[in-house]
A and B are shown apart, each in its own frame.
Chain A
Amino acid sequence: MSSNGGTGNVFEMGGSENMLHEAQDLNMAKETGSATVRAKQPEAAKQPEATQQSESAQVIEAAQARLAGMTGKRYWRSVDELAGTPEFEQALQREFPQHASEWVDPVSRRGFMKLMGASLALAGLTGCTKQPEEPIYPYVKQPEDLVLGKPVYFATAHPFPMGSVPLLVKSEAYRPIKVDGNPEHPMNHGTTDAYTQGTLLGLYDPDRSQRVLYRGENRQYANFLTDFSAMLSASSANGGESLYFLSGTVVSPTLAAQWKQAQQTYPKAKWVQYDAVNRDSARAASKAAFGEYVDAQYKLDVADIVLSLDADFLSGLWHPGFLKLAGDYAKRRKLDPGVTMNRLYVTESTPTTTGFKADHRLSLRASQMEGFAAALAAALGVGSAPAGYAWTPAQTAFLAAVAKDLKANAGKSVVIPGEQASPAVHLAAIAINQALGNVGKTVVYTETIAPMPTEQTAEIRQLADDLRAGKVDWLVILDSNPVYSAPADIEFKKALGHAKVVVHLGLYPDETAQMADWHINGAHYLEMWSDVRAYDGTVSIVQPMIDPLYGGKSAHEIVQAMLTSPDLSAYEAVRATWKPALSAKGDFDFQWRKALHDGWIADTAFAPKTAPAKIAAIPVAAAPDATAMEVIFRPDPTIYDGRYSNLGWMQELPKPVTNLSWDNAALMSIQMLSSLQAVEGDVIEITVQGRKIKAPALVVPGHPDQSISVYLGYGRRNAGRVGTGTGFDASPIRLASAQLFATGATARRTGDIYEFAITKSHYIDHRDAIARTYGDIEAAKTFKPDAAPTSLEANEAQSRGIIRYATLEEFRKNPNFAHEGENYATPSKDVTLFPNWKYNENAWALTIDMNSCTGCNACIVSCYAENNIAVVGKEEVRIGRDMQWIRIDTYFEGDLNAPRAHFQPMTCQQCENAPCEQVCPVGATVHTPEGLNAMVYNRCVGTRYCSNNCPYKVRRFNWLLFSDYETESLKLMRNPDVTVRSRGVMEKCTYCVQRISAAKIRADKENRDVRDGEIVTACQQACPTQAITFGNKNDKKSRVAQLKAQSRNYTVLADENTRPRTSYIAGVINPNPDLMENA
């Protein structure tokens, strides 16, 4: 090479680099100038409304035009992408999201350089220093059964208002460090959900309330007891007339028993239950149909046809029995020999993963749900069709097809009403199930698992009235936050001022605690004794994993203080509750220990009730005004009703379907957005009966028109350092009369713009277009392979077979469908510069069943806990620095308004021919002889070449010191078997190498091979549908090898010759032929 040429090149490169820096500086200046304004399109905010409208209209038109021209399958991941907007094209050109390479902390670039200089100078010295001396603190008296370094597992249960989750908690030196399902429990078989996984962080949350307060001053619990007993002795004369208790849904039979006992002395005292997300509809309907409160238990393992009426039973714990239902649903979708596939119909008012997993999904407005349910009941011979409802041809066809299918499968079908659907929908479901003869087969009705079932909204309204009437002297609030969550129109916060003394027991010094006279720091469920019932009524004892970290108290102790033996511990109280039942089985102490060990008390499941439902008529509301706007209230998929809002894991967790993290949004269809003359991120003002909230708009494909969905739980004012101030509070427009959805709302664009942190479009890259235009970026921008749109990740979903699926019929005709298509070819193993390694012994591999995965997020949170993954915060997520090792890619397909969606968990594929390894200059990412793509953190110098070269974009870089090295309580939570990563280090999924190592050591000591199923990855362990399978693919008998031998097994981007160890089992859907013809 001539020196001239070389110099010239260098100059050119230097020049372009400078330009790049200038551009970045400009962007930075924009951003620092107006932090709330989107840097991406700051001028858009100032444009007049007409332009706005035309812009969003153009987007829709372009998107629809693109879809219209398509034949066959067509995947897309965001509306921008579908339309091919300039922003998306711009994003496409970047390897990383906008500003991903920039410093966003409030430190200037100059300041950063100074710091860097100083740390570089120090680095020269620190390189030679030695480790600091470390102390050892041995026990004084070591517990006999403790082997340090060996975890111990204890059974307990997570109390949750919708039904508990039986657990087996991993305890390291008696510190709970991982919460997982109880593998032997018949209700969940070891699976958990995202909330339950997240509660571990709740235990160690540094913002938990740590002391007893009286009007803001430190007190002892004994001081409270003195006051409390003085009040009690004074009020025992009048039967506790002015004593009120308010709690969330009571789930503990012992607490109910304690209260019953207390009522003997204080017969006039009242106990009110209120949760913002409650089961009022189900309660009201069961009272109307059966004359008493009952719970419905659905048995999806024997149901061939499932219809969900707004029931989101595949997404999370907010639907009772989620783990059981999702597990049973998935069992019928795995195409195991001898198991017929079920068919799922879903009608829903807000898009959920349940809807997108359905074989047929119908988007209905919330107000139409009753009418639809009643019309379906009429079609099945129950009652008459409601008058006044006008159905579209698609809706009519759907209804007819469902009715026909249900009728044909009478006794083997089931209709599930949603907890957020109105009582009429529940009544219709009860009537339909009864008419079809499903009762006793696919659905049984039992006693309620909540021991004190009530209709909560009416109760809290009464409480507020009593408060205002001055009837309440003492109000004891137990594990509830009504100041935040009570319906807006009962003005609970103001009413609370009328009580003489307000006592609040809770985990956090929250909104209610601020208003209370006494605040008692509560015990976390991992710190206390209690009891709960699972979906089928089976009792689990909640046993403490650790002494209360801050001496917290539970509701049991407060209520016990009213009884004749006020000092009886919760432990004794729980034992006393179950003594009769356990003694009947034999020696009580033995049976008690067995119950604790097993995690449940055998034979405590409820017997089905046999009395038939008597439904006079389904009270269907009048047909809604088609132009009236609705607001639908839903529990948040990650923070529920706000109780998990201070958990960083849950806040950062991208919500299913929207991939929105750290916020809630006004979710709507693109037509709705267009009619508001807004674009995504515009703040809109929603007014319901004169009450207003402001919420940023976000489009969800498949959302019904003229309605907006909002998630509860955000906009907390006293949640803690993480949760305070995230999102907006939807409760001001949630009235006691309209807890499920409100009609007659209005909305308008305010002109403000809000920044979302959405993880969806971060993983777009331009690999294919660039490659196929021979590296010319300009050409790549306009490149249209086969007249298809520009190469996008989603386009590749089709063209390169990232998502592969077929209908059941197609699959039967052609079992090999997953391998037939253009660009599905895998290069020969010999096409490599490197000699192929022979994997003679273990070859770890993973399969993910696309049919089973419902995109519920449990795996992500499980991975957080297992692998000490850091939380980065909204600003960092926004620029694509989130650290989750596993993400769930959502691919939409087809019609913008009625799309199908595919959920694909994407994590390190552990390529045998890994592109990342070849570019690491320091050998920090290397291959192990068992085929793991190992990451050696202490070697990594942070060049990020590996991430650049990763086709799956699954590597995560510690741009800053994301791990919390300071907070003491969080140190207790960490998994000691996994390194806590520092700044400047790349990390990624390891297939839980710590678990592999532990199993190998165990096997080596016993001179045997690792058994199949002995190693379970954290994601696999949590998965409610058992979609993930890990094992040794060299062992032909292993489950993973058998799954990989299936014809539906495929690898993603196999044409890259990466030879991934992770493979996917292609989806098979089971559509109704009647509806397919109509489509």
Chain B
Amino acid sequence: MAQIFDRSSNSLARISLVLSGIIVISLGVTLNYLQRSPWVTRQGQRADQPVPFSHRHHVQGLGLQCQYCHTSVEKSSYAGIPPTKTCINCHAQIWTNADLLAPVRNSWATGQSVVWTKVHDLPDYVYFNHSVHVNKGIGCSSCHGRVDEMPLMYQENTLQMEWCLNCHRNPAKNLRPTSQIYQMAWQGPSSSAPVWCASKDVPGVPTAQTVNCTLKDPASNGAQLAALEIPSLAGTYQVATASAGSGAVSLPAAAALHYTKFTDQDALGKYLIVQYHIRPPHELTSCDTCHR
């Protein structure tokens, strides 16, 4: 009986074995890349919005502070999307007839919401809290990127769990002084732009009040510092009051501040972890931190 399979079948079989191996592996690799790709994460995508609101124009151009619109970022889990009223505060006066703002005027007239599309959309089983991040030294731009340079809003990071954990495992690399939270251009300290920090060492006060950090050398630029940032501010001192002649006003005694100079993020981060009482990584990465 003639052979059913030709000798070449052997090679075919071998090749197909190899091929199927390659297919399985490449499928795995593809899926891996696919699920991290912007197609899935929407990273970098600009959603269609009813109004092409430009953060660049409003933040960089006009200098609006983040909290003018995102009012509850320090208080609540939500940063807050501004009500139409916030837009109308200014746009009742300027650009009152701009076509682009028709949806806003419409909303104001009809009482119906401007329906935005969510750009940073976490899965429903993830419970993120803005307030604790902002209060503990994570700035807006650490997660949202340079919003002041975005003409149209997009998602800077993947917002996937591995991205969250990257920071929760090592928060030091992103911590900044709470005075710099809303500073979009924050780069972290360097030798050319050092940061001086002093601990006030008062237990039981909110995080933002425990540490003084300044970008100006407190030794040489004392005059430019806010009164409470002045080093060695011990005892009372005299200020001119409105009711001149009433004499010296006694201010509460501030403890002497001893500033430390930081020139790299790592050192600053480690310092702030201690000062801000950041929980250790094993607690920050515990499942119940984000899932309930």
Residues on A lying within 8 angstroms of B by beta carbon are 128, 130-131, 133-142, 147-150, 841, 926, 928-930, 932, 934, 936-938, 977-980, 990, 993-994, 996-997, 1001, 1004-1008
Residues of chain A with a CB closer than 8 A to B80's CB: 147-148
The answer on a CB contact under 8 Å between B136 and A1004 is: yes
B224 contacts chain A at the CB level, 8 A cutoff: no
Give residues of chain B (108-162) contacting chain A, Cβ–Cβ below 8 Å. 108, 111-118, 121, 123-125, 127, 129, 131-132, 135-136
B105 to chain A, nearest CB (A): 12
Residues of chain B with a CB closer than 8 A to A997's CB: 127, 288-289, 292
The answer on a CB contact under 8 Å between A934 and B287 is: yes
In the bound complex, CA of A823 to CA of B155 (Å): 59
In the bound complex, CA of A861 to CA of B204 (Å): 37
Residues of chain A with a CB closer than 8 A to B123's CB: 131, 938
A140-B83, A1007-B204 in contact; A934/B118 too (CB < 8 A)?
A: no
Q: Which of B69-77, B228-236, B237-245, B252-260 contacts A (4 or more CB under 8 A)?
A: B69-77
In the bound complex, CA of A1049 to CA of B291 (Å): 32
Residues of chain B with a CB closer than 8 A to A138's CB: 81-84, 113-114, 116
The answer on a CB contact under 8 Å between B39 and A139 is: no
The answer on a CB contact under 8 Å between B118 and A148 is: no
In the bound complex, CA of A932 to CA of B283 (Å): 12
Give residues of chain B (163-208) contacting chain A, Cβ–Cβ below 8 Å. 203-207
A256 to chain B, nearest CB (A): 40
In the bound complex, CA of A720 to CA of B39 (Å): 46
The answer on a CB contact under 8 Å between B206 and A1007 is: yes
B226 contacts chain A at the CB level, 8 A cutoff: no
Partner of A142, one of B83, B129, B131, B135: B83
Partner of B76, one of A136, A149, A990: A149
Closest A residue to B126 by CB, please name it: A938
The answer on a CB contact under 8 Å between A141 and B116 is: no
Closest B residue to A926 by CB, please name it: B287
Interface of A, secondary structure class, is loop
The answer on a CB contact under 8 Å between A128 and B35 is: yes
The answer on a CB contact under 8 Å between B131 and A141 is: no
The answer on a CB contact under 8 Å between A141 and B85 is: yes
The answer on a CB contact under 8 Å between B111 and A1007 is: no
The answer on a CB contact under 8 Å between B291 and A1005 is: no
| 28 A-B contacts (beta carbon < 8 Å) | A130-B41, A134-B118, A135-B118, A137-B115, A138-B81, A139-B84, A139-B113, A140-B111, A140-B112, A140-B113, A147-B76, A148-B72, A148-B80, A149-B76, A928-B287, A928-B288, A929-B286, A930-B283, A979-B292, A980-B124, A990-B288, A994-B127, A997-B127, A1001-B132, A1004-B135, A1007-B204, A1007-B276, A1008-B204
The answer on a CB contact under 8 Å between B210 and A128 is: no
The answer on a CB contact under 8 Å between A934 and B83 is: no
In the bound complex, CA of A841 to CA of B47 (Å): 44
The answer on a CB contact under 8 Å between A133 and B47 is: yes
Closest A residue to B276 by CB, please name it: A1007
The answer on a CB contact under 8 Å between B292 and A994 is: yes
Interface of B, secondary structure class, is loop
A449 to chain B, nearest CB (A): 40
A929-B282, A937-B125 in contact; A978/B85 too (CB < 8 A)?
A: no
In the bound complex, CA of A990 to CA of B286 (Å): 14
The answer on a CB contact under 8 Å between B31 and A128 is: yes
Closest A residue to B285 by CB, please name it: A929
In the bound complex, CA of A149 to CA of B77 (Å): 6
B78 contacts chain A at the CB level, 8 A cutoff: yes
Which 6 A-B pairs have CB atoms at the shortest separation, nearest pair first?
A149-B76, A139-B83, A137-B113, A142-B83, A149-B78, A149-B77
Residues of chain A with a CB closer than 8 A to B204's CB: 1006-1008
Residues of chain A with a CB closer than 8 A to B1's CB: none
The answer on a CB contact under 8 Å between A141 and B83 is: yes
Residues of chain B with a CB closer than 8 A to A133's CB: 47, 117-118, 121
B7 contacts chain A at the CB level, 8 A cutoff: no
Residues of chain A with a CB closer than 8 A to B116's CB: 135-136, 138
A149-B78, A1008-B204 in contact; A938/B291 too (CB < 8 A)?
A: yes
Closest B residue to A139 by CB, please name it: B83
Residues of chain A with a CB closer than 8 A to B288's CB: 928, 930, 932, 934, 990, 993, 996-997
Beyond A140-B84, A140-B107, A930-B288, 10 extra complex contacts between A and B, CB < 8 Å: A139-B85, A149-B72, A929-B282, A932-B288, A934-B287, A936-B287, A937-B125, A937-B291, A994-B127, A1007-B204
A870 to chain B, nearest CB (A): 16
Number of interface residues of B (CB under 8 A): 56
The answer on a CB contact under 8 Å between B127 and A128 is: no
B256 to chain A, nearest CB (A): 21
B29 to chain A, nearest CB (A): 14
In the bound complex, CA of A128 to CA of B279 (Å): 34
B55 contacts chain A at the CB level, 8 A cutoff: no
B34 contacts chain A at the CB level, 8 A cutoff: yes
The answer on a CB contact under 8 Å between A1005 and B132 is: yes
Residues of chain B with a CB closer than 8 A to A928's CB: 286-288
A134-B118, A142-B83 in contact; A1007/B205 too (CB < 8 A)?
A: yes
A138-B83, A142-B85 in contact; A1004/B286 too (CB < 8 A)?
A: no
B87 to chain A, nearest CB (A): 10
A929-B286, A1001-B132 in contact; A128/B40 too (CB < 8 A)?
A: yes
Residues of chain A with a CB closer than 8 A to B41's CB: 130
The answer on a CB contact under 8 Å between A979 and B35 is: no
Residues of chain A with a CB closer than 8 A to B72's CB: 147-150
In the bound complex, CA of A150 to CA of B74 (Å): 12
Give residues of chain B (19-68) contacting chain A, Cβ–Cβ below 8 Å. 31, 34-35, 39-42, 47
In the bound complex, CA of A136 to CA of B279 (Å): 32
A235 to chain B, nearest CB (A): 43
Closest B residue to A1005 by CB, please name it: B135
Give residues of chain B (268-292) contacting chain A, Cβ–Cβ below 8 Å. 276-277, 279, 282-283, 286-289, 291-292
In the bound complex, CA of A242 to CA of B190 (Å): 91
Partner of A977, one of B42, B115, B127: B127
Residues of chain B with a CB closer than 8 A to A978's CB: 292
In the bound complex, CA of A350 to CA of B32 (Å): 65
A1034 to chain B, nearest CB (A): 14
In the bound complex, CA of A977 to CA of B292 (Å): 7
A937-B291, A993-B292, A1004-B136 in contact; A135/B84 too (CB < 8 A)?
A: no
In the bound complex, CA of A141 to CA of B84 (Å): 6
The answer on a CB contact under 8 Å between B40 and A136 is: no
In the bound complex, CA of A928 to CA of B285 (Å): 9
Closest A residue to B205 by CB, please name it: A1007
Closest B residue to A842 by CB, please name it: B283
Closest B residue to A146 by CB, please name it: B72
B28 to chain A, nearest CB (A): 13
Q: Which of A134, A139, A937, A994 has the most CB of B within 10 A?
A: A139
The answer on a CB contact under 8 Å between B75 and A147 is: yes
Residues of chain B with a CB closer than 8 A to A149's CB: 72, 76-78
